[in-house]
Chains A and B, each alone.
Chain A
């Protein structure tokens, strides 16, 4: 993904791919400007699906892209479940780095 793309382009691209859970912006509500609408943050699942599309879209069918989005939603839900386990700052991941000297 081109990181220089601005947010507007990013959302536009993702929506065009009909990939997002709510791929098209909702109708503009009374009192809400188009700019506000375009600045609405995508959900994490939408954002990651757009990333998957940008990186691998050429290898996938529309149907597969929808499955990828379902999978991403599921894996984010797993991440949320994991986050509920309380950790202290001192709780290290279960691998250790060693600086092997000469």
Chain B
């Protein structure tokens, strides 16, 4: 097998392309892994994107993949492909810090199911990636919310990569890994995907086992892929989806990718989706709609239900999070966190009344029903992933872009209902920062959403753009 020097171009290839080259033995898993390890070491610190480079494990897994591929034993499209995981998934013998100082030395003696599944698929773990401490739990005020420092956006390092899956977003965008695993409770995959200019999939709640992942909100937490393309998200999801007896919320529901063609896509544009958002985000969204109109039936101005999605998701996260982190809160450990707001927000969350939590969960049932009814008519509803480009590193979120707070609460709504969403890049806005479009759909409709996002990417090239980054 040729042990070629891996060019930078190769490191920005999609998972699909890398898999093909690996199976054709044009590159070896060892050379590929070494190249990513080098890039992680060089550029990871500049972006604050990496917590631990898992060199020893990675090389061991790469050698195993190399042996198997040489022997013609191919495990699937991820075989020999390196990846990074948000540092909230347990990895045996390697620190799992949850991005937070109080857990900096935490080491588990088992692997999260998602890590095990990816290993079984032949993927190679090269890094534990940075995240907002405790996945942002009760709300954080600015990008400086991780013991590893604010994760910088590869497109403009004065800006944030998004959160709470900051490292996965930045690392994929910067070509430090070809794909990564992030998590979303409410917005933590879609936001960094949009801000960092990568493709991110928030799967349906229950699609992917969360065993071994940090719990923030048991009824909201999801794990999902962040990749260069929507197609790659499908390949990764196929490897990680499925029932796991260690996570009782996981479901044995078939996920087939790519889906069988089912006729023209039916896409709805959410009414007022561009009201009160940054002008360049709006322009890029409007351009995207023109592209979608070439291969889909478009319905305009689809009214989004007016329900208190934000308050419901906030109440649920506060109540469940205060319970999940009760030990830390009660022993005063929140004071060790980096973000000043997070240091005390857990005390506020601890006062949520049980009756208010239950009321939120009852309203949630109604919301789920209402949203499902709306989504029955469409394969996807679309909107800008975020109303603005990424926030500056040095400013509180409340101060930056204060004039752009518009758009319906699509992210909290989708998370409350457990629905999937895909965000893909659709252009650039101020300060050379990426923007994204999100495709949201009914529960278990990932194949359809990914097919639409893939069709969009076939017609555009935003996902192929690369940031200019140099190691200092």
Write the residues of chain A forming the contact surface with B, with a CB cutoff of 8 angstroms: 48-49, 51-52, 55-56, 58-60, 64-65, 67-68, 71-72, 75, 78-79, 81-85, 87, 91-95
Contacts and interface: CB of A to CB of B under 8 A. Distances in A.
B335 interface: yes
13 contacts: A52-B350, A56-B329, A56-B350, A71-B348, A78-B311, A79-B352, A82-B308, A85-B363, A87-B366, A92-B365, A94-B362, A94-B368, A95-B361
Contacts of A84: 308
Nearest to B312: A82
Contact of A94 (B219, B329, B335, B351): B219
B334 interface: yes
Contacts of A71: 344-345, 348-349
B86 interface: no
Contacts of A58: 332
Nearest to B352: A75
Please classify the interface of chain A as helix (H, G, I), strand (E, B), loop, or mixed, using the class held by over half of its residues: helix
Contacts of B353: 79
B273 to A, nearest CB: 22
- Interface centre among B318, B344, B347, B353, by most chain A C-beta atoms within 10 angstroms, is B347
A13 to B, nearest CB: 16
Contacts of B57: none
Given A71-B345, A72-B351, A82-B359, A91 B366 contact: yes
B314 A75 contact: yes
Q: Is the interface of B mostly helix, strand, loop or mixed?
A: helix
B381 to A, nearest CB: 21
Interface residues of B, number: 36
B363 A87 contact: yes
B314 A78 contact: yes
Contacts of A68: 344, 347-348
B125 to A, nearest CB: 33
Interface string B375-397: 00000000000000000000000
Nearest to B139: A71
B307 interface: yes
B356 interface: yes
Query: Quick one: which of B307, B330, B351 has the most chain A CB within 10 A?
Result: B351
Contacts of A72: 348, 351
Contact of B315 (A64, A82, A91): A82
Contacts of A95: 219, 361
Interface string B189-219: 0000000000000000000000000000001
B468 to A, nearest CB: 40
Nearest to B313: A78
Interface in B219-239: 219
A83 B350 CA distance: 20
B348 A75 contact: yes
B361 A81 contact: no
B335 A59 contact: yes
A83 B359 contact: yes
B358 interface: yes
Contact of A56 (B310, B330, B352, B363): B330
Contact of A75 (B318, B330, B358, B363): B318
Given A59-B332, A75-B318, A85-B366, 11 more contacts: A59-B335, A65-B344, A67-B344, A68-B347, A79-B315, A79-B352, A79-B360, A82-B311, A82-B312, A85-B363, A94-B362
B363 A64 contact: no
Nearest to B318: A75
Contacts of B329: 56
B266 interface: no
Contacts of B282: none
